[in-house]
Amino acid sequence: MDTKQTIKVAVAGAKGRMGQEVVKMLGGDSELSFVAAIDSKLDGVDVGEIIGGKPLGVPFVRSLESALTTYKPDVLVDFTTPQTVWENMEIALQHGVRPVVGTTGLSPEQIELMSNTCRERGIGAIIAPNFAIGAILCMKFAQVAAKYMPHVEIIELHHDQKLDAPSGTAIKTAELIAEARRELRQGHPSEHESIPGARGAEYHGFRIHSVRLPGMVAHQEVLFGATGQTLSIRHDSISRESFMPGVNMAIKAVMNLDRLVYGLEHLLD
């Protein structure tokens, strides 16, 4: 593929933990070209200086609007914050730029609204709460198990700088489980929390627990219990590189979409 045919990619949150991995991934794929990075504090600084390598010839730009106007990317990859991502997506769509969003914390209502906007404008977008293939399999296996073992709890574990809880992956897993299992409220009807929150968050009759500790990256265990047996389905992202094949796949796939896709699993089959 010659340079004219490369997919031009801008990255919002490029100096963050995930953003830096995205920049490295883009540099290793000749079908993609990294054209812009957005950061509110590093205007004009070469991105290479921040990610600890040689200069890349791509400076950070303060405003997303001016980055999109100047560099005309095809795709905006967003790994920012739950407070920022919504506005970023709106701006990208206004400029005809396809968003690929890893930032978690968007509400179901926001995702629905964004889906409508994409449909009206005939433009593709991908929101994936988890870009790791193993995490997608963990969700799918949990959905299958929930049909046969409906007593379930989710434990998600992340690094202590994560802003939203429960994780987007846990919410998506919970949605899939709720679709598959029969209506059931778990635990003893008279159970009582001596310390509020001890039983975790309640979702459609089952519980989700969020652990935040330094040293963690992104982990999830879905625990099932039945008479005389338990089943654990666990996924561990032990480095942020684990998400990059999924991000790469999404950047390429979004070019051929005319609607919003929520969840990497829809790109796998």
For residue 262, give both structure tokens: 């929520």
The continuous run of DSSP H or E covering 134 comes out as helix 133-148
Q: Identify the active-site residue in 72, 95, 162, 252.
A: 162
CB of 232 to ligand NAP, least distance (A): 22
Cα distance between residue 235 and residue 251, in whole Å: 24
Stretch that binds ligand NAP, among 14-22, 170-178, 182-190, 191-199 (CB under 6 A): 14-22
Based on DSSP, count helices (H) and strands (E) in the chain, helices before strands.
9, 12
Query: Binding of ligand NAP at residue 91 (CB under 6 A)?
Result: no
The continuous run of DSSP H or E covering 69 comes out as helix 64-71
Residue closer to ligand NAP (CB basis): 80 or 220? 80
- Sign (positive or negative) of CA dihedral 169, 173, 176, 178: negative
- Sign (positive or negative) of CA dihedral 127, 197, 220, 243: positive
Q: If you ran DSSP here, which 8-state letter would residue 181 be given?
A: S
Known catalytic residue at 162:
yes
Binding mask 215-254 for ligand NAP (x = CB under 6 A): ---x------------------------x-----------
The one-letter code for the residue type at 178 is A
Query: Total residues at the site for ligand NAP (CB under 6 A)?
Result: 26
Q: Identify the active-site residue in 158, 209, 219, 235.
A: 158
CB of 68 to ligand NAP, least distance (A): 12
Do residues 68 and 95 touch, judged by C-beta distance below 8 A?
yes
Residue closer to ligand NAP (CB basis): 181 or 251? 251
Which of 4, 41, 54, 182 touches ligand NAP by CB under 6 A? 41
Residues that bind ligand NAP (CB under 6 A): 12-13, 15-19, 38-41, 79-81, 84, 102-105, 128-131, 162, 218, 243
